[in-house]
Amino acid sequence: MKRLLTIAVLLVVAGALPRVAEARKRSIAVLEFRQGVSALPWFADRMAKRLRHLTGLRVLGPTAARQKIGDRVDILVAGCQGKTRCVGAIGRKLGVSEVILVGMSSLGDVIIQITRVSVRSRRVLGSVGHTMPPLSKLSMKKLDSLLHRLMPRRDFIRYGFIRVRSNRRGAQVFLNEKQHGLTPLRGPIKVRAPSIHRVKVSKRGFVDFSADLTVPPDGTVTVNAKLPLIPKGITPFYKKWWFWTVIASSVVTVAGVTAGVALTVGKRPESVPAIIRW
Protein backbone atom coordinates (compact mmCIF):
# COMPACT_ATOMS: atom_id res chain seq x y z
CA MET A 1 0.00 0.00 0.00
CA LYS A 2 2.80 2.42 0.91
CA ARG A 3 4.53 1.72 -2.41
CA LEU A 4 1.34 2.38 -4.39
CA LEU A 5 0.81 5.61 -2.48
CA THR A 6 4.37 6.73 -3.27
CA ILE A 7 3.89 5.99 -6.97
CA ALA A 8 0.61 7.93 -6.98
CA VAL A 9 2.25 10.94 -5.37
CA LEU A 10 5.10 10.85 -7.91
CA LEU A 11 2.61 10.78 -10.78
CA VAL A 12 0.70 13.74 -9.38
CA VAL A 13 3.90 15.75 -8.87
CA ALA A 14 5.15 14.90 -12.37
CA GLY A 15 1.88 16.01 -13.92
CA ALA A 16 2.00 19.28 -12.03
CA LEU A 17 5.53 20.27 -13.11
CA PRO A 18 4.54 22.42 -16.11
CA ARG A 19 1.85 24.17 -14.04
CA VAL A 20 4.33 24.80 -11.21
CA ALA A 21 6.79 26.29 -13.71
CA GLU A 22 4.01 28.56 -14.98
CA ALA A 23 3.16 29.70 -11.42
CA ARG A 24 6.81 30.53 -10.68
CA LYS A 25 7.24 32.88 -13.64
CA ARG A 26 8.08 36.44 -12.73
CA SER A 27 5.21 38.85 -13.19
CA ILE A 28 5.83 42.28 -14.68
CA ALA A 29 3.63 45.32 -15.19
CA VAL A 30 4.41 47.77 -17.98
CA LEU A 31 3.16 51.26 -17.11
CA GLU A 32 3.68 54.64 -18.74
CA PHE A 33 3.97 58.30 -17.79
CA ARG A 34 3.69 60.98 -20.47
CA GLN A 35 4.64 64.63 -20.15
CA GLY A 36 2.64 66.28 -22.91
CA VAL A 37 3.60 63.65 -25.51
CA SER A 38 0.96 62.20 -27.85
CA ALA A 39 3.37 60.34 -30.14
CA LEU A 40 3.49 56.53 -30.10
CA PRO A 41 0.23 56.09 -28.13
CA TRP A 42 0.54 52.31 -28.47
CA PHE A 43 4.13 52.08 -27.26
CA ALA A 44 3.71 50.66 -23.72
CA ASP A 45 1.03 48.12 -24.70
CA ARG A 46 3.10 47.04 -27.67
CA MET A 47 6.15 46.67 -25.42
CA ALA A 48 4.15 44.49 -23.01
CA LYS A 49 2.93 42.29 -25.86
CA ARG A 50 6.42 41.95 -27.32
CA LEU A 51 7.96 41.17 -23.93
CA ARG A 52 5.37 38.45 -23.37
CA HIS A 53 6.17 36.97 -26.77
CA LEU A 54 9.95 37.04 -26.40
CA THR A 55 10.24 35.84 -22.81
CA GLY A 56 7.13 33.95 -21.77
CA LEU A 57 7.00 36.02 -18.56
CA ARG A 58 3.66 37.01 -17.06
CA VAL A 59 3.27 40.55 -18.38
CA LEU A 60 0.54 43.06 -17.55
CA GLY A 61 0.26 45.95 -19.98
CA PRO A 62 -1.23 49.41 -19.26
CA THR A 63 -4.67 48.41 -20.57
CA ALA A 64 -4.76 45.28 -18.40
CA ALA A 65 -3.53 47.31 -15.39
CA ARG A 66 -6.44 49.73 -15.83
CA GLN A 67 -8.85 46.82 -15.98
CA LYS A 68 -7.42 45.44 -12.76
CA ILE A 69 -7.37 48.53 -10.49
CA GLY A 70 -9.20 51.11 -12.62
CA ASP A 71 -8.19 54.23 -14.53
CA ARG A 72 -6.71 55.67 -11.33
CA VAL A 73 -3.55 53.73 -12.17
CA ASP A 74 -2.62 56.54 -14.59
CA ILE A 75 -3.14 59.14 -11.85
CA LEU A 76 -1.04 57.09 -9.44
CA VAL A 77 1.80 56.74 -11.96
CA ALA A 78 1.74 60.47 -12.75
CA GLY A 79 1.83 61.25 -9.02
CA CYS A 80 4.97 59.16 -8.56
CA GLN A 81 7.02 61.47 -10.78
CA GLY A 82 9.34 58.53 -11.46
CA LYS A 83 10.16 57.84 -7.81
CA THR A 84 10.98 54.16 -7.47
CA ARG A 85 9.40 53.64 -4.03
CA CYS A 86 6.11 55.03 -5.33
CA VAL A 87 6.30 52.98 -8.54
CA GLY A 88 7.03 49.86 -6.48
CA ALA A 89 3.95 50.52 -4.36
CA ILE A 90 1.79 50.55 -7.52
CA GLY A 91 3.37 47.26 -8.57
CA ARG A 92 2.38 45.83 -5.20
CA LYS A 93 -1.25 46.85 -5.79
CA LEU A 94 -1.10 45.09 -9.17
CA GLY A 95 0.36 41.94 -7.60
CA VAL A 96 3.51 41.88 -9.76
CA SER A 97 7.18 41.42 -8.87
CA GLU A 98 8.56 44.10 -11.19
CA VAL A 99 7.39 47.28 -12.91
CA ILE A 100 8.69 48.60 -16.21
CA LEU A 101 7.97 52.32 -16.30
CA VAL A 102 7.96 53.97 -19.73
CA GLY A 103 8.49 57.71 -19.40
CA MET A 104 7.96 60.00 -22.38
CA SER A 105 8.84 63.66 -22.70
CA SER A 106 9.57 66.04 -25.55
CA LEU A 107 12.21 68.65 -26.22
CA GLY A 108 11.63 68.80 -29.95
CA ASP A 109 12.48 65.12 -30.28
CA VAL A 110 10.58 62.46 -28.32
CA ILE A 111 12.64 61.22 -25.38
CA ILE A 112 11.82 57.72 -24.13
CA GLN A 113 13.22 56.55 -20.80
CA ILE A 114 12.45 52.97 -19.75
CA THR A 115 13.15 51.95 -16.15
CA ARG A 116 12.81 48.52 -14.55
CA VAL A 117 11.93 48.59 -10.84
CA SER A 118 11.82 45.79 -8.25
CA VAL A 119 8.57 45.84 -6.29
CA ARG A 120 10.14 44.18 -3.26
CA SER A 121 13.30 46.28 -2.89
CA ARG A 122 11.92 49.39 -4.67
CA ARG A 123 15.26 49.68 -6.46
CA VAL A 124 16.11 50.27 -10.11
CA LEU A 125 17.14 47.01 -11.80
CA GLY A 126 17.91 48.48 -15.21
CA SER A 127 17.32 51.47 -17.45
CA VAL A 128 17.56 52.30 -21.16
CA GLY A 129 16.81 55.42 -23.19
CA HIS A 130 15.97 56.30 -26.77
CA THR A 131 15.47 59.58 -28.66
CA MET A 132 13.57 59.90 -31.92
CA PRO A 133 11.88 62.54 -34.14
CA PRO A 134 8.21 63.13 -33.14
CA LEU A 135 6.70 61.83 -36.38
CA SER A 136 8.97 58.82 -36.89
CA LYS A 137 8.06 55.20 -36.24
CA LEU A 138 9.76 52.76 -33.90
CA SER A 139 10.62 49.51 -35.67
CA MET A 140 10.10 46.09 -34.12
CA LYS A 141 13.83 45.51 -34.37
CA LYS A 142 14.55 48.61 -32.30
CA LEU A 143 11.92 47.69 -29.72
CA ASP A 144 13.45 44.22 -29.37
CA SER A 145 16.87 45.82 -28.97
CA LEU A 146 15.63 48.01 -26.12
CA LEU A 147 14.09 44.99 -24.37
CA HIS A 148 17.28 42.94 -24.70
CA ARG A 149 19.25 45.79 -23.14
CA LEU A 150 16.73 46.19 -20.34
CA MET A 151 16.03 42.59 -19.31
CA PRO A 152 18.40 39.84 -18.11
CA ARG A 153 19.64 37.56 -20.85
CA ARG A 154 18.18 34.49 -19.12
CA ASP A 155 14.66 35.89 -19.59
CA PHE A 156 14.90 35.29 -23.33
CA ILE A 157 15.65 31.57 -22.89
CA ARG A 158 12.35 29.69 -23.11
CA TYR A 159 11.44 26.09 -22.39
CA GLY A 160 8.87 23.44 -23.20
CA PHE A 161 8.20 19.90 -22.02
CA ILE A 162 8.15 16.45 -23.64
CA ARG A 163 6.05 13.84 -21.85
CA VAL A 164 6.72 10.24 -22.95
CA ARG A 165 4.24 7.44 -22.27
CA SER A 166 4.38 3.86 -23.48
CA ASN A 167 2.37 0.65 -23.32
CA ARG A 168 5.60 -1.17 -22.30
CA ARG A 169 7.26 -0.82 -18.92
CA GLY A 170 11.05 -0.76 -18.86
CA ALA A 171 11.41 0.59 -22.41
CA GLN A 172 14.41 2.88 -23.00
CA VAL A 173 13.61 6.48 -23.83
CA PHE A 174 16.07 8.39 -26.02
CA LEU A 175 15.98 12.11 -26.76
CA ASN A 176 18.29 13.07 -29.63
CA GLU A 177 20.11 9.72 -29.15
CA LYS A 178 20.71 10.46 -25.45
CA GLN A 179 19.06 8.08 -22.98
CA HIS A 180 16.60 9.61 -20.53
CA GLY A 181 15.59 6.60 -18.46
CA LEU A 182 13.06 3.79 -18.63
CA THR A 183 9.29 3.91 -18.92
CA PRO A 184 7.37 5.02 -17.06
CA LEU A 185 9.42 8.21 -16.71
CA ARG A 186 9.02 10.09 -13.44
CA GLY A 187 8.07 13.30 -15.20
CA PRO A 188 8.26 15.34 -18.40
CA ILE A 189 11.59 16.19 -20.02
CA LYS A 190 12.39 19.92 -20.01
CA VAL A 191 13.91 21.27 -23.25
CA ARG A 192 14.71 24.62 -24.86
CA ALA A 193 11.86 25.92 -27.00
CA PRO A 194 10.95 26.41 -29.72
CA SER A 195 12.98 23.41 -30.88
CA ILE A 196 12.83 20.11 -32.78
CA HIS A 197 13.75 16.82 -31.13
CA ARG A 198 13.92 13.15 -32.08
CA VAL A 199 12.30 10.80 -29.54
CA LYS A 200 12.90 7.06 -29.65
CA VAL A 201 11.39 4.42 -27.38
CA SER A 202 12.98 0.96 -27.56
CA LYS A 203 12.68 -2.42 -25.85
CA ARG A 204 14.12 -5.76 -26.87
CA GLY A 205 11.56 -7.98 -28.57
CA PHE A 206 9.36 -5.06 -29.58
CA VAL A 207 9.18 -2.71 -32.56
CA ASP A 208 10.94 0.61 -31.90
CA PHE A 209 8.96 3.83 -31.79
CA SER A 210 10.48 6.99 -33.30
CA ALA A 211 9.08 10.50 -33.66
CA ASP A 212 10.26 13.99 -34.66
CA LEU A 213 8.70 16.58 -32.35
CA THR A 214 8.39 20.34 -32.55
CA VAL A 215 8.19 21.72 -29.00
CA PRO A 216 6.55 25.16 -28.63
CA PRO A 217 7.57 27.60 -25.89
CA ASP A 218 5.70 26.93 -22.64
CA GLY A 219 3.95 23.98 -24.26
CA THR A 220 3.88 20.25 -23.57
CA VAL A 221 4.20 17.59 -26.28
CA THR A 222 2.83 14.25 -25.13
CA VAL A 223 4.15 11.15 -26.91
CA ASN A 224 2.07 7.97 -26.67
CA ALA A 225 4.57 5.33 -27.84
CA LYS A 226 2.99 1.95 -28.57
CA LEU A 227 5.53 -0.84 -29.10
CA PRO A 228 4.05 -3.97 -30.76
CA LEU A 229 5.60 -7.41 -30.34
CA ILE A 230 7.92 -8.68 -33.07
CA PRO A 231 6.38 -11.93 -34.41
CA LYS A 232 8.72 -14.91 -34.20
CA GLY A 233 10.49 -15.81 -37.44
CA ILE A 234 9.71 -12.44 -39.03
CA THR A 235 12.38 -9.87 -39.78
CA PRO A 236 11.53 -6.67 -37.88
CA PHE A 237 10.22 -4.20 -40.42
CA TYR A 238 12.16 -1.35 -38.83
CA LYS A 239 15.30 -3.05 -40.17
CA LYS A 240 14.00 -2.98 -43.73
CA TRP A 241 14.33 -0.11 -46.19
CA TRP A 242 10.79 1.11 -45.58
CA PHE A 243 11.42 1.85 -41.90
CA TRP A 244 8.74 4.31 -40.82
CA THR A 245 8.89 7.38 -38.69
CA VAL A 246 5.95 8.89 -36.84
CA ILE A 247 5.63 12.62 -37.27
CA ALA A 248 4.64 14.73 -34.24
CA SER A 249 0.95 15.62 -33.80
CA SER A 250 -0.21 12.68 -35.95
CA VAL A 251 -1.38 9.10 -35.52
CA VAL A 252 0.00 6.68 -38.11
CA THR A 253 -1.33 3.17 -38.61
CA VAL A 254 1.08 0.64 -40.16
CA ALA A 255 0.09 -3.01 -40.62
CA GLY A 256 -2.66 -2.65 -38.05
CA VAL A 257 -0.34 -1.12 -35.43
CA THR A 258 -1.20 2.36 -34.16
CA ALA A 259 1.43 4.73 -32.82
CA GLY A 260 0.34 8.08 -31.47
CA VAL A 261 1.73 11.51 -30.71
CA ALA A 262 -0.46 14.07 -28.98
CA LEU A 263 0.45 17.76 -29.01
CA THR A 264 -0.67 20.15 -26.27
CA VAL A 265 0.02 23.82 -27.05
CA GLY A 266 -0.56 26.88 -24.91
CA LYS A 267 0.09 28.30 -21.49
CA ARG A 268 -3.30 27.69 -19.99
CA PRO A 269 -4.33 24.42 -18.28
CA GLU A 270 -7.50 24.33 -20.37
CA SER A 271 -5.54 23.67 -23.58
CA VAL A 272 -6.92 20.61 -25.34
CA PRO A 273 -4.64 17.94 -26.88
CA ALA A 274 -4.88 18.10 -30.66
CA ILE A 275 -4.62 14.75 -32.44
CA ILE A 276 -4.64 14.49 -36.21
CA ARG A 277 -5.41 11.10 -37.73
CA TRP A 278 -4.17 10.00 -41.14
Q: Which CATH architecture has domain 158-277?
A: Sandwich (2.60)
| Helix boundaries (H) for 24-151 | 43-55, 62-69, 72-80, 84-94, 140-150
Residue 156 CB neighbour total at 10 angstroms: 15
Q: Which CATH architecture has domain 25-156?
A: 3-Layer(aba) Sandwich (3.40)
Give CA separation, 28 vs 128, 176, 253, 257, in Å.
17, 35, 46, 48
> Average pLDDT for consecutive 10-residue bins of the chain (278 residues)?
38 43 75 91 93 93 94 93 94 97 92 96 96 91 96 94 96 96 95 95 95 92 94 60 41 34 38 32
pLDDT digits (tens, 9 = 90+) for 21-78: 444 678 999 999 999 888 888 899 999 999 999 998 999 999 999 999 998 999 999 9
pLDDT attached to residue 232? 75
**Cα angle for residues 140, 145, 148 (degrees, 5° grid):** 125
CA distance 117 to 101: 8
CA distance 101 to 203: 56
pLDDT attached to residue 273? 36
E strands, the chain, where? Answer: 27-34, 58-60, 98-107, 109-118, 124-132, 159-166, 172-175, 178-182, 189-192, 195-202, 209-215, 220-225, 246-247, 250-254, 257-264, 276-277
Query: Contact, 14 vs 187, CB < 8 A?
Result: yes
Q: Are strands 220-225 and 195-202 parallel, antiparallel or unpaired?
A: unpaired
The continuous run of DSSP H or E covering 19 comes out as helix 2-23
pLDDT attached to residue 240? 52
pLDDT attached to residue 75? 93
CA distance 57 to 270: 19
pLDDT attached to residue 107? 86
Query: Contact, 201 vs 40, CB < 8 A?
Result: no
Q: Where are the domains of the chain?
A: 25-156, 158-277
pLDDT digits (tens, 9 = 90+) for 236-246: 555 554 444 44
